[in-house]
Amino acid sequence: MDNSRRDVLKKSLLTMGMLSAGLTSMRSAFAASKGTINFGDVGVSDPGGDWSKFVSATGWDVNLVAIGNAPSQVLNVLIAGGGRKTYDLMGIVGGMQKPLVENDLVLPIDTSRLSNWNRHTNIKKYVLDDPNGFKFIGWEGKVYMMPTFIQGDSIGYLPEFTGHVDSYGALFDPKFRGYTAVEDNFTTTGQKTALYLKMNNLATIDDPSNMTPSEVKQVVDFLVDKKKEGQFRLMWTSFQQSVDLFVNKEVYVQDCWEPMVFAARRQGVQAEYARPKEGYLLWSLGPYLVNNPNRTPEREEAIYQLLDFLLDDWYSATISLIHGYLTSPGAAEYARSHPGEFTSEQAEKVEQIHANVKSKFEMPGTWQQRWPTHVDVYEEEWARFRAA
Amino acid sequence: MSQVRFARWLLFAAPILFICVFLLVPLALTFTISFWERSGFTIKPGLSLDAYKVFFSGVRLSVLRTSLGFAAVVTVLGLLTAYPIAYFLALRVSPRVSQTCLFLFAVPFVINPIIRNFSLAYILGRTGPVNSFLKEIGLIERPVDWLLFSDFSVILGLTLSYMPFMIYPLWLSLAGIDRRYAEASWVLGVPPVKTFLRVTLPLSLPGVFAASIFGFVGTFGESSVPIILGGLGYQLMGNTITSTLDVLNYPLAAAMSSIVAATMLLFLVLWYRMFDIQLFLGKITLRRF
Amino acid sequence: MQYSRSAQVAIWAYVVVVLVLLYLPILPPIATSISPTGRQPSITSVSFKWYAQLASNPMLIESVKTSIKVALMVGLVTPLLALSAALAVRELKVPRLILMLMLLPLFIPGISLGLANAFLFQLADIAPSFWTILVVHVLWALPFAFLIVLTAISAFDPVYLESAYVHGANRLQAFITVELPNILPGILGSATFSVILSFNETVRTSLVQGPLNTVQTYIWSRYLQVGLSPQTYALMSLLILITLILIAGLLFFNLRKGKT
């Protein structure tokens, strides 16, 4: 009896030993690389997990880490979570320069070190040449966020229930009472509502992207009224929730991002992304360079190589196909001329996506504002909407 | 000899030190930080009551009230569901059957509650299986809306998450009861219901209290259920703490967390004072040490 | 005091209904993961392609590796701590205090526990890493492991130790040759349970994870940021299956022990 028990002990120790040996060998298999760039990202910079082109070109690995996108969440990671030591890049929606630069958390990006920067006419045309666009990525004349993707947001809907939708008003239409949803976020829902109210002369708002306290209050009052009438089914807080709202036909109209419409379509639901007459909420996403004073020059060089890679045509085509964002101007051409990597339908699709986003910039619209002058008022008023 | 002594001391002290360093000290630290001051995005040591002032004057106080209410409701529901099961398993079936059943109840508890609640959102939706079924049998014409994104779904999600956890302490205390008490009462001609109320129930109170604490702890600090199943701007203490962290208000997060932890510790102390923990663990610690 | 047959049936029916309610939510992710279209459950035929694709996602693989490493360490460290605590209950003069301390993590809500440790690491200038995750996981698993080991130790009669002393063994020898083999199943059980708990933890981890992802924080961040793909459902189903297999192992072991 005792012998058999001792056997069990021996065997289990042996197993543990083998397992830990296995783990060690796994680690040594990776030791060949020069190092790993830690890339915190909200999830959309992931080219399907395939960094092989970058790894084989530079010898550096990329460790993509999922982080939240909420303005304060990002600051939280950098200030509290030891983030400045851990992360090299933080890929988030822009417009965060004020808190990030003022707290010395990020460094300006030296665009002359990026070979793809100057041929990226999309960045030039839609971001750099538009003063509001530049405000979204720059601070005091310097570039702090590299705009990997450019996009305009509106609302999604299910035409089988709503017919054609061409205004944010559908969100607040009594016909769809209880069958609409909004995002729990003042930058998206708050600003789109402000755009709607302004464009339809329902409120006097000077600049929907940077409102005065009383303007914010007007917008939230409007939303609170609608909430009390039972207009909204949900204030969603996660991507999947928003997709499920469409897939399970919980709602017919919602304030969401275009990728959710794509995700719903992949699940066999005919969802559409509206082309609202009020215009789009414009934004761009890309990495900030985290300020780590102890970084070696080799690592910095590798980071710049990664930044350059994020503007390259293969990566651009891949990301456009996954999320439907506007990327480098050469993406479609690259996809067409590399049939081993992309099908001709995919090349076609990249072309369409790019044309689609470009046309969004023809509309009136407004740039997102993630850190408005009265950000405290925004936060407080939004808490009131939440609790109403 | 002294070396052996030291080694022995170290051996026994290790788990105690571990708990002290990684639980008691951090909790004390949280409490301290709740009095610190915010300056910009960082915090500096201080003796400020700002965090508590904000907490007790703002919307968050109602969040505390809701959370307490929910925790109470879920605990009571959990007890009502779990007690009969524990009673049955402890007193009416063979030890092997009851062990197997306890295991079966343990399984859902250890499977990540987040994954289980994802499914619940699907099951309870407007076009989910429950509504489809009700429509199929002609009970309803329009989908029932309050099944999801409502108090109902939050309470159901919380109860299903933490009820399995409550069965074990109940079973423990019920199984530890000397059956002769109940039998004596029965022999004396006391009806079963009275026997239960006068003998079994009072003897199982330590377990009831322990189970209540477990149910309460889980519910009170839960942060994913209100996000997944809650409706419009749903706030419970758990996710309010996370969202306060998100806006970099550490003293406030620390204050809320301390309030939550202190509430639980208060229950714990009560329990400790009222019942003999060793008697309660009687089934486990067969003899007194 | 026997129940009538119908009362027996009613009680069993009640137990079964509650079990069904508890187990029901486990089914949809599994159904989705084996559906060829990867849509919400509408199974016409079965496909395992989503499982095959799991291997090609490096971010996911990294999180699996972290989870396995953490779980193995938790499975190693926790039972040892639990064993030493259980022995301390017997050997030291303050059993009630030790019992209370060991059970304490059960009484602290996950969010408070995670936050408290995050503060500790921050002030001690310890960057979030594998070790910080390990600490919160051991804290979470310790009370359970402790109870399991304590049960095993209590079932062992110390008379055997006495007889070993009589035969000239010292304390350590007696413990290793006589007691340890007897309580080994309990220790292995606590190790398994610790691994299971570690594998399924999210809230506490999320506050100290730093740049690392465990499987569970990976799934949670997907849910929040980019949505759950059929592959994610496959991953969830795998986690459920692994947990079930480990539990079945424990149960089997326990029943066999009960027989002999």
Please report, rounded to a whole number, the percentage of residues in chain B having pLDDT higher than 90: 32
Give the pLDDT band (50/70/90) at residue C172. Answer: confident
Rounded (10°) angle between helices B60-91 and B237-246:
140
pLDDT value of position B285: 55
Please provide residue B64's backbone torsions phi and psi, each rounded to the nearest 5 degrees: -60, -45
Q: To the nearest whole angstrom, how far is the Cα of C7 from the nearest Cα of chain A?
A: 41
8 Å CB contact of B41 and A75: yes
For the segment A85-112, the average pLDDT, to the nearest whole number, is 91
- Residue B175's pLDDT is what? 84
Six token digits for residue B14: 């290790």
Q: What pLDDT score was predicted for residue C257? A: 64
B27–chain C Cβ distance below 8 A for any pair: yes
Secondary structure (H, E, C), chain C:
CCCCHHHHHHHHHHHHHHHHHHHHHHHHHHHHHCCCCCCCCCCCCCCCHHHHHHCCCHHHHHHHHHHHHHHHHHHHHHHHHHHHHHHHHHHCCCHHHHHHHHHHHHHCCHHHHHHHHHHHHHHCCCCCCHHHHHHHHHHHHHHHHHHHHHHHHHHCCCHHHHHHHHCCCCHHHHHHHHHHHHHHHHHHHHHHHHHHHHHCCCHHHHCCCCCCCCHHHHHHHHHHHCCCCHHHHHHHHHHHHHHHHHHHHHHHHHHHHHHC
Please, which pLDDT band fits residue C73 given cuts at 50, 70 and 90?
very high
Determine how many CB atoms are found less than 10 A away from the CB of residue C16: 10
pLDDT above 80 for A135: yes
pLDDT in tens, C78-109: 999 999 999 998 888 788 888 889 989 988 88
Mean per-residue pLDDT, B237-259? 85
Q: Please indicate if any CB of chain A lies within 8 Å of the CB of B55.
A: no
Query: Which chains, if any, share at least 3 CB pairs under 8 A with chain B?
Result: A, C
Query: What letter does residue A145 receive in the DSSP assignment?
Result: B
CA dihedral C56, C57, C62, C67 (to 10 degrees): -90
The DSSP H or E segment spanning B218 is helix B205-221
The DSSP bridge pattern shows strands A281-290 and A232-236 to be unpaired
ipTM of the complex: 0.88
pLDDT mean over B252-275: 88
pLDDT of A168 above 90:
yes
Q: What is the pLDDT of residue A208?
A: 93
Distance between CA atoms of residues C216 and C214, nearest Å = 5
B154: confidence class by pLDDT, cuts 50, 70, 90: very high
Q: Which domains does chain B have, with CATH numbers?
A: 49-288 (1.10.3720.10)
Ranges A123-132, A173-182, B14-23, C200-209: which has the least confidence = C200-209
β-strands A138-139, A142-143 pairing: antiparallel
C222 interfacial to chain A (CB closer than 8 Å): yes
Cβ distance B268 to C250 less than 8 Å, yes or no, reads no
Per-residue pLDDT, A21: 47
C55 has a chain A CB within 8 A of its CB: no
| Higher pLDDT pick, C43 / C186 | C186
- Whether residue B26 and residue C116 make contact (CB cut-off 8 A), yes or no, is yes
Per-residue pLDDT tens for B218-237? Answer: 888 788 888 899 877 778 88
Q: Span B94-115, mean pLDDT?
A: 83
3 state DSSP class of A38: strand
Residue B242, chain A, CB below 8 Å: the answer is no
Instruction: Please give the Cα distance from B201 to C182 (Å, whole number).
Output: 36
Chain B 47-86, residues with CB within 8 Å of chain C CB atoms: 81, 84-85
Give the distance from residue B78's alpha carbon to the nearest chain A alpha carbon, in angstroms: 27
pLDDT above 90 coverage of chain A, percent = 70
Query: What was the pLDDT predicted at A23?
Result: 47
Is B264 exposed, middle or buried (CB count within 10 Å of its CB: 0-12, 13-18, 19+)? buried
Summarize the confidence of residues B228-247 as an average pLDDT: 81
- More confident position, A329 or C258: A329
The residue among B105, A119, A189 whose CA lies nearest residue C18 is: B105
Contact A383 B42 (CB under 8 A): no
Burial (CB < 10 A; 0-12, 13-18, 19+), residue B99, is: middle
Q: Average pLDDT for residues B101-119, to the nearest whole number? A: 84
pLDDT-derived band at C259 (thresholds 50, 70, 90) equals: low
B269 close to C (CB below 8 A): no
Find the range with the poorest average confidence among A232-236, A282-286, A303-307, C150-154: C150-154
**In the predicted structure, residue A107 carries a pLDDT above the cut 80:** yes
Contact criterion met (CB < 8 Å) for B29 and C116: yes
Contact B247, B54 (CB under 8 A): no
Q: Enter the tokens of residue C68.
A: 């396995």
Q: How do residues C113-131 score in pLDDT, each as one tens digit?
A: 999 998 999 888 888 889 9
Chain A contact present for B81, CB below 8 A: no
Give residue A243's pLDDT: 94
Q: What CA–CA distance (Å, rounded) separates C106 from B273?
A: 18
Q: Please check the confidence at residue C70 and state whether its pLDDT lies above 50.
A: yes
Do the Cβ atoms of B15 and C102 come within 8 Å? Answer: yes
State pLDDT tens for residues B60-94: 888 888 899 999 999 999 999 999 999 999 888 88
- Min distance B1 CA to chain A CA atoms (Å): 29
- Would you call C29 an interface residue with chain B, using a CB distance cutoff of 8 Å? yes
User: Rounded mean pLDDT of chain A?
Assistant: 88
pLDDT for B277 beyond 60 = yes
What lies within 8 Å, CB to CB, of A91 at 6+ separation is A39, A40, A41, A42, A44, A45, A148, A285, A286, A287, A288
Mean pLDDT of chain C: 86
Q: A309-323, A337-351, B189-203, C17-31: which has the minimum mean pLDDT?
A: B189-203
Residue range A5-24, pLDDT digits in tens: 455 445 544 444 444 444 44
Question: Which residue, among B84, B92, B98, has the nearest Cα to B182 in the 3D structure?
Answer: B92
Q: Going by DSSP bridges, is the β-strand pair A60-66/A35-41 parallel, antiparallel, or unpaired?
A: parallel
Task: Give the confidence band of B5 by pLDDT, cuts at 50, 70, 90.
Answer: confident
**pLDDT category, C200, cuts 50, 70, 90?**
confident
pLDDT, residue C196, reads 86
Strands A253-255 and A155-157: what pairing? antiparallel
Kindly tell me if the per-residue pLDDT of A216 is higher than 80. yes
Closest partner CB to C119 (pick from B11, B33, B264): B33
What pLDDT shows up at residue A24?
A: 46
pLDDT at residue A79 tops 80? no
pLDDT of residue A360: 94
Binned at pLDDT 50, 70 and 90, residue C43 comes out as low
Q: Does A31 score more than 50 pLDDT?
A: no
Q: Are strands B37-39 and A253-255 parallel, antiparallel or unpaired?
A: unpaired
Indicate the burial class of B252 (C-beta count within 10 angstroms; 0-12, 13-18, 19 or more). Answer: buried
> Are B240 and C115 a contacting pair, CB within 8 Å?
no
d(CA C86, CA B280): 16
Structure confidence at residue B282 (pLDDT)? 59
Q: For chains B and C, count residue pairs whose Cβ atoms are closer than 8 Å.
A: 234
pLDDT band for position A72 (cuts 50, 70, 90):
low
Q: Is the pLDDT of residue A163 over 70?
A: yes
- Distance (Å, whole) CA C210 – CA C130: 9
Highest mean predicted confidence (pLDDT) among A29-38, A183-192, B57-66, B91-100: A183-192
What is the tens place of the pLDDT at every residue in B115-132? 888 899 999 999 899 999
Is residue C4 over pLDDT 50?
A: yes
Q: What is the pLDDT of residues A246-297, one digit of tens each?
A: 999 999 999 999 999 999 998 889 999 999 999 999 999 999 999 988 899 9
Q: How far is A252 from chain C (nearest CA, A)?
A: 18
pLDDT at A82 (0 to 100)? 64
Tokens linked to C38: 């990867």
Q: How far apart are CA A30 and CA A48, in angstroms?
A: 20
Q: What is the mean pLDDT of chain B?
A: 86
